[in-house]
Structure 1
Protein backbone atom coordinates (compact mmCIF):
# COMPACT_ATOMS: atom_id res chain seq x y z
CA UNK A 1 0.00 0.00 0.00
CA UNK A 2 1.41 3.41 -0.94
CA UNK A 3 1.82 6.29 1.48
CA UNK A 4 -1.03 8.21 -0.04
CA UNK A 5 -3.45 5.28 0.10
CA UNK A 6 -2.65 4.50 3.76
CA UNK A 7 -3.68 7.86 5.21
CA UNK A 8 -6.77 8.36 7.37
CA UNK A 9 -9.40 11.08 6.78
CA UNK A 10 -7.90 13.14 9.64
CA UNK A 11 -4.36 12.82 8.29
CA UNK A 12 -5.57 13.92 4.86
CA UNK A 13 -7.40 16.86 6.42
CA UNK A 14 -4.25 17.81 8.31
CA UNK A 15 -2.18 17.70 5.12
CA UNK A 16 -4.68 19.94 3.33
CA UNK A 17 -4.57 22.34 6.28
CA UNK A 18 -0.77 22.50 6.16
CA UNK A 19 -0.87 23.09 2.42
CA UNK A 20 -3.26 26.03 2.65
CA UNK A 21 -2.22 27.79 5.85
CA UNK A 22 0.77 29.99 6.58
CA UNK A 23 3.80 28.35 8.28
CA UNK A 24 3.24 30.16 11.59
CA UNK A 25 -0.17 28.47 11.94
CA UNK A 26 1.12 24.92 11.52
CA UNK A 27 1.38 24.27 15.25
CA UNK A 28 -0.39 21.53 17.21
CA UNK A 29 -2.57 24.14 18.93
CA UNK A 30 -3.63 25.91 15.73
CA UNK A 31 -4.16 22.62 13.91
CA UNK A 32 -6.33 21.23 16.72
CA UNK A 33 -8.38 24.43 16.84
CA UNK A 34 -8.88 24.50 13.07
CA UNK A 35 -9.80 20.81 12.74
CA UNK A 36 -11.80 20.84 15.99
CA UNK A 37 -10.08 17.89 17.61
CA UNK A 38 -7.92 17.41 20.68
CA UNK A 39 -4.21 18.25 20.64
CA UNK A 40 -3.31 14.63 21.34
CA UNK A 41 -5.18 13.61 18.18
CA UNK A 42 -3.06 16.02 16.12
CA UNK A 43 0.13 14.83 17.80
CA UNK A 44 -0.61 11.19 16.96
CA UNK A 45 -1.46 12.08 13.37
CA UNK A 46 1.77 14.06 13.03
CA UNK A 47 3.79 11.16 14.45
CA UNK A 48 2.42 8.87 11.74
CA UNK A 49 2.98 11.42 8.97
CA UNK A 50 6.54 12.04 10.14
CA UNK A 51 7.31 8.31 10.04
CA UNK A 52 6.07 8.28 6.44
CA UNK A 53 8.41 11.22 5.64
CA UNK A 54 5.41 13.35 4.68
CA UNK A 55 5.97 16.06 7.31
CA UNK A 56 8.98 17.28 9.26
CA UNK A 57 8.89 18.97 12.67
CA UNK A 58 11.12 21.95 13.25
CA UNK A 59 12.66 23.13 16.50
CA UNK A 60 10.22 26.00 17.02
CA UNK A 61 7.18 23.68 17.25
CA UNK A 62 6.33 24.32 13.61
CA UNK A 63 5.71 21.62 11.01
CA UNK A 64 6.55 21.66 7.31
CA UNK A 65 5.64 19.40 4.44
CA UNK A 66 8.49 17.46 2.90
CA UNK A 67 8.93 17.48 -0.88
CA UNK A 68 7.03 14.21 -1.21
CA UNK A 69 4.51 15.40 1.38
CA UNK A 70 3.72 18.54 -0.59
CA UNK A 71 3.25 16.48 -3.74
CA UNK A 72 0.85 14.13 -1.95
CA UNK A 73 -1.04 17.04 -0.39
CA UNK A 74 -1.49 18.76 -3.77
CA UNK A 75 -2.80 15.52 -5.27
CA UNK A 76 -5.33 15.25 -2.45
CA UNK A 77 -6.29 18.89 -2.87
CA UNK A 78 -7.01 18.37 -6.57
CA UNK A 79 -9.00 15.19 -5.95
CA UNK A 80 -10.88 16.81 -3.07
CA UNK A 81 -12.16 19.56 -5.35
CA UNK A 82 -13.35 17.01 -7.92
CA UNK A 83 -15.14 14.92 -5.28
CA UNK A 84 -16.78 17.92 -3.60
CA UNK A 85 -18.05 19.30 -6.90
CA UNK A 86 -19.30 15.89 -7.99
CA UNK A 87 -21.18 15.40 -4.72
CA UNK A 88 -22.65 18.88 -5.00
CA UNK A 89 -24.08 18.02 -8.43
CA UNK A 90 -25.46 14.79 -6.93
CA UNK A 91 -27.49 16.87 -4.43
CA UNK A 92 -25.56 15.61 -1.40
CA UNK A 93 -26.36 17.97 1.53
CA UNK A 94 -23.56 20.57 1.75
CA UNK A 95 -22.99 19.78 5.44
CA UNK A 96 -22.10 16.18 4.52
CA UNK A 97 -19.93 16.83 1.48
CA UNK A 98 -16.58 17.51 3.16
CA UNK A 99 -16.73 14.48 5.46
CA UNK A 100 -17.85 12.18 2.66
CA UNK A 101 -15.11 13.48 0.35
CA UNK A 102 -12.44 12.87 3.01
CA UNK A 103 -13.71 9.33 3.58
CA UNK A 104 -13.66 8.72 -0.16
CA UNK A 105 -10.07 9.96 -0.42
CA UNK A 106 -9.02 7.73 2.47
CA UNK A 107 -10.56 4.72 0.72
CA UNK A 108 -8.16 5.33 -2.15
CA UNK A 109 -8.94 5.67 -5.85
CA UNK A 110 -6.88 4.96 -8.93
CA UNK A 111 -5.86 7.86 -11.12
CA UNK A 112 -8.05 6.45 -13.90
CA UNK A 113 -11.09 6.51 -11.62
CA UNK A 114 -10.45 10.12 -10.60
CA UNK A 115 -10.06 11.05 -14.27
CA UNK A 116 -13.43 9.47 -15.09
CA UNK A 117 -14.98 11.26 -12.13
CA UNK A 118 -13.51 14.52 -13.41
CA UNK A 119 -15.04 13.78 -16.80
CA UNK A 120 -18.45 13.15 -15.23
CA UNK A 121 -18.17 16.32 -13.15
CA UNK A 122 -17.40 18.20 -16.37
CA UNK A 123 -20.58 16.87 -17.98
CA UNK A 124 -22.67 17.98 -15.03
CA UNK A 125 -21.14 21.44 -15.14
CA UNK A 126 -21.99 21.74 -18.83
CA UNK A 127 -25.62 20.81 -18.23
CA UNK A 128 -25.87 23.43 -15.51
CA UNK A 129 -24.20 26.17 -17.54
CA UNK A 130 -26.23 25.60 -20.72
CA UNK A 131 -29.60 24.71 -19.16
CA UNK A 132 -32.43 26.03 -21.32
CA UNK A 133 -30.17 27.12 -24.20
CA UNK A 134 -31.44 26.35 -27.71
CA UNK A 135 -28.30 27.13 -29.71
CA UNK A 136 -24.91 26.19 -28.29
CA UNK A 137 -21.73 26.06 -30.34
CA UNK A 138 -18.97 23.52 -29.97
CA UNK A 139 -16.60 26.36 -29.15
CA UNK A 140 -18.75 27.41 -26.19
CA UNK A 141 -18.73 23.83 -24.96
CA UNK A 142 -14.93 23.71 -24.85
CA UNK A 143 -14.77 26.96 -22.88
CA UNK A 144 -16.12 25.02 -19.89
CA UNK A 145 -14.25 21.73 -20.31
CA UNK A 146 -10.87 21.03 -18.77
CA UNK A 147 -8.14 19.54 -20.94
CA UNK A 148 -8.62 15.81 -21.29
CA UNK A 149 -10.67 13.05 -22.93
CA UNK A 150 -14.45 12.79 -22.70
CA UNK A 151 -16.50 9.87 -23.96
CA UNK A 152 -20.04 10.41 -25.24
CA UNK A 153 -22.68 8.18 -26.84
CA UNK A 154 -23.67 8.99 -30.40
CA UNK A 155 -25.97 7.87 -33.21
CA UNK A 156 -25.53 8.37 -36.96
CA UNK A 157 -28.92 8.97 -38.60
CA UNK A 158 -29.86 8.68 -42.25
CA UNK A 159 -30.54 11.94 -44.01
CA UNK A 160 -33.87 10.46 -45.15
CA UNK A 161 -35.89 7.60 -43.66
CA UNK A 162 -35.60 4.30 -45.55
CA UNK A 163 -37.75 1.23 -44.93
CA UNK A 164 -39.22 2.95 -41.87
CA UNK A 165 -35.75 3.15 -40.32
CA UNK A 166 -33.71 6.31 -39.83
CA UNK A 167 -30.52 4.75 -38.40
CA UNK A 168 -27.70 4.93 -40.93
CA UNK A 169 -25.55 1.89 -41.70
CA UNK A 170 -22.63 4.19 -40.90
CA UNK A 171 -23.70 3.93 -37.27
CA UNK A 172 -22.27 0.40 -37.32
CA UNK A 173 -19.14 1.61 -39.08
CA UNK A 174 -17.75 3.12 -35.89
CA UNK A 175 -17.06 1.84 -32.41
CA UNK A 176 -19.10 3.43 -29.65
CA UNK A 177 -18.80 5.77 -27.80
CA UNK A 178 -16.98 8.63 -29.52
CA UNK A 179 -14.16 10.50 -27.82
CA UNK A 180 -13.92 14.27 -27.45
CA UNK A 181 -10.35 15.41 -26.79
CA UNK A 182 -10.06 18.93 -25.41
CA UNK A 183 -6.83 20.91 -25.27
CA UNK A 184 -6.47 24.64 -24.72
CA UNK A 185 -10.24 25.14 -25.12
CA UNK A 186 -10.31 23.48 -28.52
CA UNK A 187 -11.84 20.07 -29.16
CA UNK A 188 -11.70 17.25 -31.70
CA UNK A 189 -14.28 14.47 -31.98
CA UNK A 190 -12.61 11.09 -32.64
CA UNK A 191 -14.45 8.12 -34.14
CA UNK A 192 -12.88 4.66 -34.26
CA UNK A 193 -13.54 3.00 -37.62
CA UNK A 194 -14.58 -0.65 -37.66
CA UNK A 195 -15.18 -3.15 -40.47
CA UNK A 196 -18.82 -3.99 -41.13
CA UNK A 197 -20.31 -6.94 -43.00
CA UNK A 198 -23.52 -6.99 -45.04
CA UNK A 199 -25.16 -9.26 -47.58
CA UNK A 200 -25.19 -7.99 -51.15
CA UNK A 201 -28.73 -7.51 -52.44
CA UNK A 202 -27.65 -8.51 -55.96
CA UNK A 203 -25.30 -11.46 -55.41
CA UNK A 204 -26.28 -12.58 -51.93
CA UNK A 205 -22.61 -12.72 -50.95
CA UNK A 206 -21.34 -11.31 -47.68
CA UNK A 207 -19.28 -8.20 -48.29
CA UNK A 208 -17.07 -6.25 -45.91
CA UNK A 209 -16.51 -2.51 -45.96
CA UNK A 210 -14.87 0.31 -44.02
CA UNK A 211 -15.35 4.04 -43.97
CA UNK A 212 -12.35 5.60 -45.71
CA UNK A 213 -13.21 9.27 -45.90
CA UNK A 214 -15.27 11.71 -43.90
CA UNK A 215 -16.30 15.33 -44.43
CA UNK A 216 -18.17 17.63 -42.05
CA UNK A 217 -20.50 20.54 -42.79
CA UNK A 218 -19.45 23.88 -41.33
CA UNK A 219 -20.92 27.25 -42.23
CA UNK A 220 -22.55 25.86 -45.36
CA UNK A 221 -19.46 24.10 -46.76
CA UNK A 222 -18.05 20.59 -46.43
CA UNK A 223 -14.50 20.21 -45.14
CA UNK A 224 -12.31 17.10 -45.01
CA UNK A 225 -12.06 15.42 -41.65
CA UNK A 226 -8.76 14.04 -40.42
CA UNK A 227 -7.55 10.43 -40.60
CA UNK A 228 -5.16 8.92 -38.07
CA UNK A 229 -4.83 5.15 -38.46
CA UNK A 230 -8.10 3.60 -37.31
CA UNK A 231 -9.50 6.98 -36.33
CA UNK A 232 -11.30 9.73 -38.20
CA UNK A 233 -11.82 13.07 -36.53
CA UNK A 234 -13.34 16.51 -36.98
CA UNK A 235 -13.55 19.68 -34.86
CA UNK A 236 -16.32 19.93 -32.28
CA UNK A 237 -16.77 23.45 -33.66
CA UNK A 238 -18.86 21.87 -36.42
CA UNK A 239 -21.53 20.67 -33.99
CA UNK A 240 -24.52 22.69 -32.82
CA UNK A 241 -26.10 21.75 -29.51
CA UNK A 242 -29.50 22.20 -27.92
CA UNK A 243 -30.34 21.77 -24.23
CA UNK A 244 -33.36 19.62 -23.40
CA UNK A 245 -34.95 18.69 -20.07
CA UNK A 246 -34.48 20.19 -16.62
CA UNK A 247 -32.07 19.86 -13.70
CA UNK A 248 -30.17 16.59 -13.44
CA UNK A 249 -32.25 15.20 -16.32
CA UNK A 250 -30.90 17.81 -18.74
CA UNK A 251 -29.56 16.42 -22.02
CA UNK A 252 -27.31 18.28 -24.45
CA UNK A 253 -27.94 17.13 -28.02
CA UNK A 254 -25.33 18.04 -30.64
CA UNK A 255 -25.48 17.33 -34.37
CA UNK A 256 -23.58 17.88 -37.61
CA UNK A 257 -24.06 16.72 -41.19
CA UNK A 258 -21.36 14.33 -42.45
CA UNK A 259 -20.42 12.97 -45.85
CA UNK A 260 -18.79 9.57 -45.80
CA UNK A 261 -17.21 7.30 -48.37
CA UNK A 262 -16.90 3.56 -47.83
CA UNK A 263 -14.72 1.01 -49.60
CA UNK A 264 -15.96 -2.54 -50.18
CA UNK A 265 -13.07 -4.75 -51.22
CA UNK A 266 -11.39 -2.90 -54.09
CA UNK A 267 -14.49 -0.85 -54.84
CA UNK A 268 -15.14 2.67 -53.60
CA UNK A 269 -18.81 3.27 -52.92
CA UNK A 270 -20.55 6.59 -53.67
CA UNK A 271 -20.55 9.21 -50.94
CA UNK A 272 -23.48 9.12 -48.55
CA UNK A 273 -24.75 11.92 -46.32
CA UNK A 274 -25.82 11.31 -42.74
CA UNK A 275 -26.40 13.22 -39.51
CA UNK A 276 -24.00 12.59 -36.63
CA UNK A 277 -25.60 13.22 -33.23
CA UNK A 278 -23.79 13.29 -29.89
CA UNK A 279 -25.43 13.20 -26.47
CA UNK A 280 -24.14 14.70 -23.24
CA UNK A 281 -26.21 13.37 -20.37
Structure 2
Protein backbone atom coordinates (compact mmCIF):
# COMPACT_ATOMS: atom_id res chain seq x y z
CA UNK A 1 0.00 0.00 0.00
CA UNK A 2 2.79 2.43 0.93
CA UNK A 3 4.71 1.49 -2.23
CA UNK A 4 1.71 2.23 -4.46
CA UNK A 5 1.19 5.55 -2.66
CA UNK A 6 4.81 6.46 -3.41
CA UNK A 7 4.38 5.65 -7.09
CA UNK A 8 1.27 7.86 -7.11
CA UNK A 9 3.19 10.65 -5.39
CA UNK A 10 6.09 10.63 -7.86
CA UNK A 11 3.69 10.47 -10.80
CA UNK A 12 1.81 13.50 -9.42
CA UNK A 13 4.99 15.61 -9.39
CA UNK A 14 5.92 14.70 -12.96
CA UNK A 15 8.40 11.82 -12.56
CA UNK A 16 8.15 9.51 -15.59
CA UNK A 17 7.51 5.78 -15.27
CA UNK A 18 11.11 4.76 -15.91
CA UNK A 19 12.42 6.96 -13.11
CA UNK A 20 9.66 6.13 -10.62
CA UNK A 21 11.11 2.71 -9.73
CA UNK A 22 14.50 4.24 -8.96
CA UNK A 23 12.89 7.02 -6.92
CA UNK A 24 10.74 4.61 -4.89
CA UNK A 25 13.70 2.33 -4.20
CA UNK A 26 15.78 5.32 -3.13
CA UNK A 27 13.14 6.47 -0.66
CA UNK A 28 12.84 3.03 0.93
CA UNK A 29 16.64 2.85 1.23
CA UNK A 30 17.03 6.25 2.92
CA UNK A 31 13.81 6.99 4.87
CA UNK A 32 11.95 5.19 7.63
CA UNK A 33 8.37 3.96 7.19
CA UNK A 34 6.87 6.70 9.41
CA UNK A 35 8.47 9.43 7.29
CA UNK A 36 7.26 7.79 4.07
CA UNK A 37 3.71 7.53 5.41
CA UNK A 38 3.71 11.22 6.37
CA UNK A 39 4.97 12.17 2.90
CA UNK A 40 2.22 10.19 1.19
CA UNK A 41 -0.45 11.51 3.55
CA UNK A 42 0.53 15.13 2.88
CA UNK A 43 0.31 14.54 -0.87
CA UNK A 44 -3.11 12.93 -0.52
CA UNK A 45 -4.38 15.93 1.45
CA UNK A 46 -3.10 18.32 -1.24
CA UNK A 47 -4.75 16.32 -4.00
CA UNK A 48 -7.96 16.09 -2.02
CA UNK A 49 -7.99 19.85 -1.46
CA UNK A 50 -7.45 20.55 -5.15
CA UNK A 51 -10.43 18.34 -6.05
CA UNK A 52 -12.87 19.95 -3.60
CA UNK A 53 -15.50 22.03 -5.34
CA UNK A 54 -14.72 20.68 -8.81
CA UNK A 55 -18.16 19.32 -9.57
CA UNK A 56 -17.13 17.90 -12.92
CA UNK A 57 -15.99 14.85 -10.96
CA UNK A 58 -18.97 12.51 -10.72
CA UNK A 59 -17.71 11.18 -7.39
CA UNK A 60 -18.00 14.50 -5.56
CA UNK A 61 -21.40 15.20 -4.03
CA UNK A 62 -22.54 17.72 -1.44
CA UNK A 63 -23.70 16.38 1.91
CA UNK A 64 -25.86 18.18 4.43
CA UNK A 65 -25.00 18.25 8.11
CA UNK A 66 -28.12 16.20 8.85
CA UNK A 67 -27.25 13.54 6.26
CA UNK A 68 -23.77 13.11 7.68
CA UNK A 69 -24.86 12.97 11.31
CA UNK A 70 -27.44 10.31 10.49
CA UNK A 71 -24.65 8.08 9.18
CA UNK A 72 -22.26 8.57 12.12
CA UNK A 73 -22.48 6.97 15.54
CA UNK A 74 -22.11 9.00 18.72
CA UNK A 75 -18.63 9.06 20.17
CA UNK A 76 -15.27 10.82 20.10
CA UNK A 77 -13.17 10.31 16.98
CA UNK A 78 -9.61 11.21 16.05
CA UNK A 79 -9.67 13.01 12.69
CA UNK A 80 -6.97 14.24 10.31
CA UNK A 81 -7.00 17.83 9.10
CA UNK A 82 -4.89 20.39 7.26
CA UNK A 83 -5.09 24.18 7.10
CA UNK A 84 -4.43 25.77 3.71
CA UNK A 85 -3.62 29.29 2.62
CA UNK A 86 -6.11 31.20 0.53
CA UNK A 87 -5.49 33.48 -2.41
CA UNK A 88 -2.81 32.73 -4.98
CA UNK A 89 -1.13 30.23 -2.64
CA UNK A 90 -4.29 28.25 -1.89
CA UNK A 91 -2.52 24.95 -2.66
CA UNK A 92 0.05 25.53 0.09
CA UNK A 93 -0.28 24.77 3.77
CA UNK A 94 -0.81 27.80 5.98
CA UNK A 95 1.59 28.51 8.82
CA UNK A 96 -1.46 28.01 11.05
CA UNK A 97 -1.32 24.31 10.14
CA UNK A 98 1.55 24.11 12.62
CA UNK A 99 -0.47 25.92 15.28
CA UNK A 100 -2.67 23.00 16.34
CA UNK A 101 -1.98 19.50 17.62
CA UNK A 102 -2.77 16.63 15.28
CA UNK A 103 -5.02 14.75 15.11
CA UNK A 104 -8.07 16.79 16.12
CA UNK A 105 -11.00 15.28 18.02
CA UNK A 106 -14.53 15.13 16.66
CA UNK A 107 -17.11 14.99 19.45
CA UNK A 108 -20.50 13.61 18.42
CA UNK A 109 -22.90 13.78 21.34
CA UNK A 110 -26.19 14.16 19.51
CA UNK A 111 -27.25 17.42 21.14
CA UNK A 112 -23.78 18.98 20.75
CA UNK A 113 -21.40 18.06 17.96
CA UNK A 114 -18.10 19.87 17.53
CA UNK A 115 -14.49 19.67 16.36
CA UNK A 116 -11.94 20.26 19.10
CA UNK A 117 -8.55 21.71 18.21
CA UNK A 118 -5.68 22.01 20.69
CA UNK A 119 -3.35 24.97 20.15
CA UNK A 120 0.41 24.50 20.30
CA UNK A 121 3.53 26.59 19.77
CA UNK A 122 4.51 27.13 16.16
CA UNK A 123 7.75 28.33 14.61
CA UNK A 124 8.55 30.23 11.42
CA UNK A 125 11.74 31.35 9.69
CA UNK A 126 12.02 34.94 8.47
CA UNK A 127 13.58 35.81 5.12
CA UNK A 128 16.58 37.04 7.07
CA UNK A 129 17.06 33.63 8.66
CA UNK A 130 15.74 34.46 12.14
CA UNK A 131 13.57 31.88 13.90
CA UNK A 132 10.30 33.18 15.35
CA UNK A 133 7.95 31.31 17.64
CA UNK A 134 4.48 31.99 18.95
CA UNK A 135 0.92 30.69 19.01
CA UNK A 136 -2.55 31.26 17.59
CA UNK A 137 -4.21 34.08 19.54
CA UNK A 138 -7.69 34.51 18.06
CA UNK A 139 -9.89 32.43 15.75
CA UNK A 140 -12.97 33.40 13.76
CA UNK A 141 -14.88 30.99 11.54
CA UNK A 142 -17.18 31.68 8.61
CA UNK A 143 -19.92 29.06 8.79
CA UNK A 144 -21.67 27.29 5.92
CA UNK A 145 -24.47 29.84 6.45
CA UNK A 146 -21.99 32.69 5.86
CA UNK A 147 -21.98 33.79 9.51
CA UNK A 148 -18.69 34.97 11.03
CA UNK A 149 -18.24 33.90 14.66
CA UNK A 150 -15.47 34.40 17.22
CA UNK A 151 -14.41 31.24 19.04
CA UNK A 152 -12.50 31.68 22.30
CA UNK A 153 -9.39 29.63 23.02
CA UNK A 154 -9.85 28.19 26.51
CA UNK A 155 -7.18 25.99 28.12
CA UNK A 156 -5.43 26.02 24.73
CA UNK A 157 -8.48 24.44 23.08
CA UNK A 158 -11.08 25.66 20.62
CA UNK A 159 -14.43 24.08 19.78
CA UNK A 160 -15.92 24.60 16.31
CA UNK A 161 -19.55 23.49 15.82
CA UNK A 162 -19.69 20.58 13.40
CA UNK A 163 -22.75 22.04 11.69
CA UNK A 164 -20.72 25.08 10.59
CA UNK A 165 -18.70 22.95 8.14
CA UNK A 166 -19.51 22.32 4.49
CA UNK A 167 -19.35 18.63 3.60
CA UNK A 168 -18.51 16.79 0.39
CA UNK A 169 -18.29 13.10 -0.41
CA UNK A 170 -15.32 12.48 -2.69
CA UNK A 171 -15.87 8.73 -2.99
CA UNK A 172 -17.60 5.90 -1.16
CA UNK A 173 -14.98 6.01 1.59
CA UNK A 174 -13.85 9.66 1.58
CA UNK A 175 -15.78 12.54 3.11
CA UNK A 176 -14.35 15.97 3.83
CA UNK A 177 -15.54 18.98 5.76
CA UNK A 178 -14.23 22.48 5.21
CA UNK A 179 -14.53 25.82 6.93
CA UNK A 180 -12.98 29.24 6.45
CA UNK A 181 -10.85 30.57 9.31
CA UNK A 182 -9.61 34.05 10.20
CA UNK A 183 -6.75 33.96 12.69
CA UNK A 184 -4.21 36.13 14.43
CA UNK A 185 -1.00 34.85 15.95
CA UNK A 186 1.93 36.11 17.98
CA UNK A 187 4.30 35.11 15.14
CA UNK A 188 5.01 38.03 12.81
CA UNK A 189 2.10 40.04 14.18
CA UNK A 190 3.30 43.32 12.67
CA UNK A 191 3.44 41.78 9.18
CA UNK A 192 0.14 39.90 9.23
CA UNK A 193 -2.26 40.81 12.06
CA UNK A 194 -5.02 38.56 10.66
CA UNK A 195 -4.76 35.83 8.05
CA UNK A 196 -7.43 33.85 6.21
CA UNK A 197 -7.19 30.10 5.63
CA UNK A 198 -9.32 27.03 4.97
CA UNK A 199 -9.42 24.05 7.30
CA UNK A 200 -9.98 20.74 5.50
CA UNK A 201 -11.20 17.91 7.69
CA UNK A 202 -11.03 14.24 6.69
CA UNK A 203 -13.96 12.30 8.15
Q: TM-score range by the shorter chain?
A: 0.5 to 0.7
Structure with greater contact order relative to length (CA < 8 Å, sep ≥ 6): 2
Cα distance, 1:256 vs structure 2: 0.8
Partner of 1:213: 138
Distance in 1 (alpha carbons) for counterparts of 2:191 and 2:170: 39
What is the alpha-carbon root mean square deviation over aligned residues? 2.5
- When residues 276 and 256 of structure 1 are mapped into structure 2, their CA distance, relative to the original with a 3 A threshold, is same
Q: In the alignment, what sits opposite 1:186?
A: 112
For structure 1, list consecutive stretches of 5 or more residues without a partner in the other structure. Answer: 1-131
- 2:84 is aligned, of 146, 157, 161, to 157
Does 1:234 find its partner at 2:160?
A: yes
What is the DSSP-based 3-state SS (H/G/I as helix, E as strand, rest coil) of the residue aligned with 1:167? coil
3-state SS of paired residue (1:143): helix
- For normalisation by structure 1, the TM-score amounts to 0.46
Q: Distance in 2 between matches of 1:150 and 1:139?
A: 18
- In the alignment, is the contact (CA less than 8 A) between 1:263 and 1:269 conserved in 2? no
Give unmatched runs, 5+ long, in structure 2. Answer: 1-58
- Mapping 1:1-281, distance limit 5 Å: 134-162=61-89, 166-202=92-128, 204-218=129-143, 219-246=145-172, 250-264=173-187, 269-280=192-203
Query: How far apart are the structure 2 equivalents of 1:146 and 1:226?
Result: 27
Over 3 Å counting, the alpha-carbon distance change for 1:226 and 1:187 in structure 2 is farther
Distance (Å, rounded) in 2 between the aligned partners of 1:272 and 1:172: 14
- Normalising by structure 2, report the TM-score: 0.63
> How many equivalent pairs are there?
144
CA gap 1:177/1:261 in 2 versus in 1, 3 angstroms: same
Counterpart CA distance in 1 for 2:93 and 2:106 is 22
Q: Report the structure number with the largest CA radius of gyration.
A: 1
Contact 1:142 1:187 in 2 (8 A): no
Distance 1:161 1:179 in 2: 30
